[in-house]
Amino acid sequence: MGGQKLLDAAQRSDKSAESHARRSVIDLVGRTPLVRINKITAGLPEEVSVYAKLEGFNPGGSVKDRAALSMIEEAESTGRLTHDKVILDSTSGNTGIAYAWIGAVKGYKVELVVPANVSEERKKILNAFGAHVIFSNPLEGSDGAIRLAWKIYVENPEKYCKLDQYNNPNNPLAHYNHTAPEIIEQTGGMITHFVASIGTGGTIMGTGRRLKEFNKNIQVIAVEPESAFHGLEGLKHMASSIVPGIYHEDELDSKVPAPTEESYDMARRLAREEGLLVGQSAGAAMWAALEIAKTLKKGVVVAIFPDNGDKYLSTRLWEA
């Protein structure tokens, strides 16, 4: 009798686990946490708060999981991506990592063009997920990778499905459909300022549009490197770069130029004061969010922290 009860309990436990378990790691994309920044914001007016959306909690460790999944699923649904095609794109690292792990789950080969000077951690992660990586001229940055990826595609278009993150509308659509609604829900609709650094522009364009539809008074603020020569890996200085087709500056309320060293310092402060190990782009976003918060008497500022800092441990960001 006791044995039967134990068996019944075990079966109920298995069914409960099945109802709460995810079908695959893909189902873990999104629903990232929002956390208040406390020590770094000391001294701000009582009615001003700054929150960080921690995109490093995505399975691939960055906000780019959202866009990559959106682009891949759209390509599948339209028949552009089939298992006899190879996923191809240029990337500074995070989108490539997202393509690589999602490709591994779905059974696609992935080929990526990456600037040769991206962090060693990113190179090793791409290799771990089985992606084939072609390195472009490091002096040409992300623009050089873009040009080389298009050259590869044009020479053999039947082989590849080029997802083209810089011009693919499904990149910002991922943030319109998911990132923005999450922020609205997590802040109880109280957000007044949205801050995001720009690489492809997908995060700020998609999230910003949805936030403006919710409340046209929400300020949408982009953060870019202060100059063309910078150390903020993954970010674009738009005036000196190939401008992504999905990026529309006229939709922004303002743009903040972030200096490299101050962004590095902020990333280190986030680790040592808030317990958040993040990358330099998150440091730039936090630096800009704090500068904005200092001008307010009342407000809720939300900054996107695009990824974790463990991909940059071998870089100058974490030198003693």
Choose, from 49, 53, 62, 64, the residue flagged as catalytic: 64
State the pairing for strand pair 160-162/193-197.
Answer: unpaired
Query: Is residue 24 annotated as part of the catalytic site, yes or no?
Result: no
How far CA 295 is from CA of 45, 59, 288, in Å, comes to 10, 36, 11
Reduce the DSSP state of residue 243 to 3 states and report it: coil
The residue to which tokens 């060693």 are assigned: 120
Q: State the Cα–Cα distance between residues 35 and 105, nearest whole angstrom.
A: 30
Query: Is residue 64 annotated as part of the catalytic site, yes or no?
Result: yes
Measured in residues, the chain has a length of: 320
State the pairing for strand pair 34-36/48-54.
Answer: antiparallel
* Alpha-carbon torsion, ordered 270, 271, 275, 281, to 10 deg: 60
Q: Residue 180 corresponds to which tokens in the numbers above?
A: 């923005």
Catalytic residues: 64, 281
